[in-house]
Amino acid sequence: MDLSQFLAQFTPDQLVGLKTAIDSLTDVSGRSPFRPRQLHDLTLLPTKDDPRPTFFWSAEKPRNAGDLSKTQPYPRLMWESPSGREITVHDAKAQATYTAQGFLLTPPANAEAPDALELIRLQLEALSPEDRATLVQAAQKDRLGKLQEQVAMLSEEDLAALAASLPTGGQKRRSA
């Protein structure tokens, strides 16, 4: 964006005033400046000469916890490369086994999103035939209820036009 045409409209005095106004918005020489080190060591408390934000909740470890600075490598997450399926390994032997099978320690960038229809199909397969039939009937009733609400919001003219445009008899339109 070229600002030279825009800035040409102002006098030099106006440009100096504009620069002063912009500089005053970013001035940190006020009462309590945030120094860069204040956000690196959250355990330091403020003093009369060194005001700083206090992060009591995040700076104090829980009473019953050990040394929180020491971490363990396991359990850790691994991801299957093409599908992005996530697993948890609990030791180095399991990690080596899954690494040999093509699992990664970082989530794959090209992971495929799970197919929603396939996930629903798998869940339906786990149900009994009676439960499946009940679920399908309930879904059809919900659809009819939502459609009924939308039709109820139409004006009389729109409703008459819609009814006239629909085929009569037991014929159903086939979608192409």
Mapping DSSP onto H, E and C, the string for 135-166 reads: HHHHHHHHHHHHHHHHHHCCCHHHHHHHHHHC
Main-chain phi, psi angles of 86, to 5 degrees: -105, 135
- pLDDT tens for residues 141-155? 999 999 999 999 989
**Are the C-beta atoms of 86 and 79 separated by less than 8 Å?**
yes
| Domain around 103 | 71-113
Q: Is the pLDDT of residue 17 over 50?
A: yes
Is 50 a member of any domain? Answer: no
Question: What is the mean pLDDT of the segment spanning 125-149?
Answer: 93
Write the pLDDT tens digit of every residue in 18-68.
888 877 666 555 555 555 555 566 666 777 777 666 555 555 666 666 676
pLDDT at 92 over 90: yes
In the chain, how many domains are there?
2
Indicate whether 167 belongs to any domain.
no
Alpha-carbon span 72 to 146, nearest angstrom: 52
Asked if residue 129 belongs to a domain, the reply is yes
- pLDDT value, residue 100: 94
121 falls within a domain: yes
- Whether residue 64 lies inside any domain: the answer is no
Query: Does the residue 25 lie in any domain?
Result: no
Residue 14: what residue type? Q
- The answer to whether the pTM exceeds 0.75 is no
